Amino acid sequence: MKDDSRIERLISLAERIISALEGDIAALKNGRTAALSTNDPEIQKLTVTYGREAKGFDPRLAQNAPPGLRQRFFAITAKFREVLQLHARMVTRVKNASEGIIRAIATEVERANAPMRTYGPRPSYKPPSAGPMLFNRVV
């Protein structure tokens, strides 16, 4: 019975995390990165708790669980993986897009601040000295 309650707890934690991830995915699709719920400290604590619980979980417990509970556990685990992969792809897309924008802006600023290149000598160009010269003003 204790094992069943552990499985139930993992299922409950996974459902709450899935809900937060799905909210993030919707926010990312709408371009509202400030509205990400995974930045919420409550969700971060929940994620740490789930990680700790999952790390200490023995898969044999799920094999010995009642069939209904086992089926729910496997279904929520599969959905969790799927949502996590989609979330990772969305975050990567947003990261790549924002880094691309930043690179484009930096390149444009660098181009605008670069000195204009001409075919003639540079404005600060001084011809090399011919060495010391002596002028005779008597002539």
- Which of these, 73, 78, 48, lies nearest to 63 by C-alpha position? 73
Q: What is the DSSP letter of 116?
A: P
- Cα distances from 5 to residues 37, 53, 61, 98, 112, in angstroms, run 27, 12, 11, 43, 64
Residue 38, domain member (yes or no)? yes
Q: Residue 59 sits in which domain range?
A: 2-113
The tens place of each residue's pLDDT in the chain, 139 residues long, gives 577 888 899 999 999 999 999 999 998 888 887 878 888 889 999 999 999 988 888 878 888 888 898 899 999 999 999 999 999 999 899 899 889 998 888 888 888 877 766 666 555 656 666 555 555 555 4
Residue 122, domain member (yes or no)? no
Residue 139, domain member (yes or no)? no
Residue 135, domain member (yes or no)? no
- pTM recorded for the entire structure: 0.69
What is the tally of structural domains in the chain? 1
Q: What is the pLDDT of residue 120?
A: 61
In degrees and rounded to multiples of 5, residue 114 shows phi and psi of: -70, 145
Residue 136, domain member (yes or no)? no
69 contacts: CB under 8 Å, gap ≥ 6: 4, 7, 8
Residue 133, domain member (yes or no)? no
Residue 64, domain member (yes or no)? yes
